[in-house]
Amino acid sequence: MSPTPITAPFPASRLRRLRRTPALRAMVTETTLTPANLIWPIFVTEIAGGEGEIPSMPGVERLTLDGAKRAAETAMRLGIPAICIFPHSDPELKTESCERAWDPDNIGNRAIRAIKEVAPELAVMTDIALDPYNANGHDGLVRDGVILNDETVEALGRMALVQAEAGADILGPSDMMDGRIGALRGLLEQNGHKDVAILSYAAKFASGFYGPFRDAVGASGRLVGDKKTYQVNPANREEAMRCVARDLAEGADMVMVKPGMPYLDICRMVRDQFAAPTFAYQVSGEYAMIEGAIRNGWLSREVVVESLLAFRRAGCDGILTYYAPQVAERLA
């Protein structure tokens, strides 16, 4: 139970007294943000000439393997503890069976190894979902228009094992299939990867805020239908909590809410109810809105830190954000 605040009547109580100077404001700051609260998502391309700025995410670039190495060195310098890899794979090699997802030499696994070469102490997080390698853009295998749950979970297990073997520290299952956390945890234990952590996308909503991300990984034109049969209905708070409870019970070490700012109420509920490490993803659409408004002169760049403080105030231990290096520089 939260304590009941006691405030003397005015003028004995003047709440502005503690706002008067920067020093006083710093002394009573309730919520803090440091580089240690940030995970930096990066896009790594295997396509010749595929690097460069993503039009729908101004300021964010697809990187080559050498670029990913430089990003890792930047993260280490700035005190960002983790980087999350998202692959931009060759569209000509995408198939309905998604077999490249568990190829040890796909671009995601090559990026893990490249980053570990230059920054072995940096935590490397990966994405576990089939959409970067899927001809129809879905996170799972599809048959006759139906996304297959159990067959997809089996495929995700193969994907998880090769990522763990490549050196990933944190696996991020973002697919929202039922039972996948228990299956992945079992496979990791059985195959000598007991120390690899799982940060589950436990409450991933069927949101309209993912559009620029799909541009970034080359999935926009591929998606057939929508993802509403496996991602959570944005109207359903209690369903999201059941998803989080299930993933923790199956062995998730950390849980994530996605998107972020439109779902801060879910972040607060997750943290309060489960007291588990809780993360949120400031997704591509959130980034594009903020950055677009800044570049048009409608907002100042100060809103970036303010937006991330909102996650911390809502109970998040950390935030995946494309602003990570910019914010870490500013905090330093």
Letter for the amino acid at 126?
Answer: T
Please list, in sequence order, all residues whose beta carbon lies within 8 angstroms of the beta carbon of residue 125, skipping any fewer than 6 positions away: 39, 82, 83, 84, 85, 168, 169, 170, 171, 172, 199
Q: Are strands 197-204 and 123-128 parallel, antiparallel or unpaired?
A: unpaired
Secondary structure element (H or E) that encloses residue 273, with its range = helix 264-274
Q: What is the token pair recorded at 194?
A: 């007991």
Q: What does the block give as tokens for 160?
A: 């998880």
Give the torsion through C-alpha atoms of 229, 231, 233, 238, to 10 deg.
120
Nearest CA-CA partner of 324 in 314, 316, 307:
307
Q: How far apart are CA 64 and CA 176, in angstroms?
A: 29
**Taking a C-beta distance cutoff of 8 angstroms, is the pair 125, 85 a contact?**
yes
Residues belonging to the active site: 204, 258
**Helix spans in the chain (H):** 22-27, 65-78, 107-118, 149-166, 180-190, 211-216, 237-250, 264-274, 284-295, 302-313, 324-331
**88, two tokens:** 């931009």
- Asked if the bond preceding 120 is cis, omega within 30° of 0, the reply is no
Q: Is 40 left (phi over 0), alpha (psi -120 to 50) or beta?
A: beta
**Both tokens assigned to 289:** 């809105």
Q: Give the CA radius of gyration of the chain.
A: 21
How is residue 273 written in tokens?
Answer: 């109810």
Instruction: Using alpha carbons, select from 173, 175, 174, 203 the residue that is nearest to residue 188.
Output: 173
315 in the Ramachandran plot: left (φ > 0), alpha (ψ -120 to 50) or beta? left
